[in-house]
Amino acid sequence: MTIKVGDRLPEGKLSEYIETATEGCSVGPNTFDVAEMAKGKKIAIFGVPGAFTPTCSAKHLPGYIEQANALKGKGVDEIWCISVNDPFVMGAWGRESKSGDVVRMMADGSATFTKSLGLDADFSKNGMGTRSRRYSMLVDDGVVKQLNVEEAGKFEVSDAQTMLKQLG
């Protein structure tokens, strides 16, 4: 069953490659509880089929990086990019795309969280196995307020501009 507006995010964990050690976060992959990360925050989340893939790298991620200040000006506390990749790949993609502190590059290496959202897709015909459908959602204190799921092969409703319009 696919998550829908009004649902609470499911239990889950995501990993993030941390470049600079801070209190509680060492350099390298760190695993975080989704419910704890979402508590009390408004988060723009977008899911992509894969790091370094053409549409994801040329349009989806850059759009959120470019619109980060506008999104934050509309009350968004954090922006997450979730992909079924390992945290090392997500960290490298974040460095190359210069996502910095603007977009958190969250890895769902085994697609566990993506499957619990009901947003997994079989990309085996492309040699990629289980991946994420392309989507965006606005989450407020763990509850889905907006959800935009793309049809296969499309990039029309999960972009940063659509999210900005939905924020009013």
16 touches 90 (CB < 8 A): yes
Q: Is the pLDDT of residue 27 over 80?
A: no
Q: Is the pLDDT of residue 20 over 80?
A: no
**109-141 tens-digit pLDDT:** 999 999 999 999 998 888 888 999 999 999 999
DSSP bridge pairs for 8: 143
As annotated, the active-site residues are 56
Q: Supply angle C-alpha 112, 107, 28, rounded to 5.
A: 130
**138-163 tens-digit pLDDT:** 999 999 999 999 998 899 999 999 99
- What is the model's pTM? 0.93
Q: Is the pLDDT of residue 1 over 80?
A: no
11/35 Cα distance (integer angstroms): 6
168/163 Cα distance (integer angstroms): 9
> Above pLDDT 70, what percent of the chain?
95
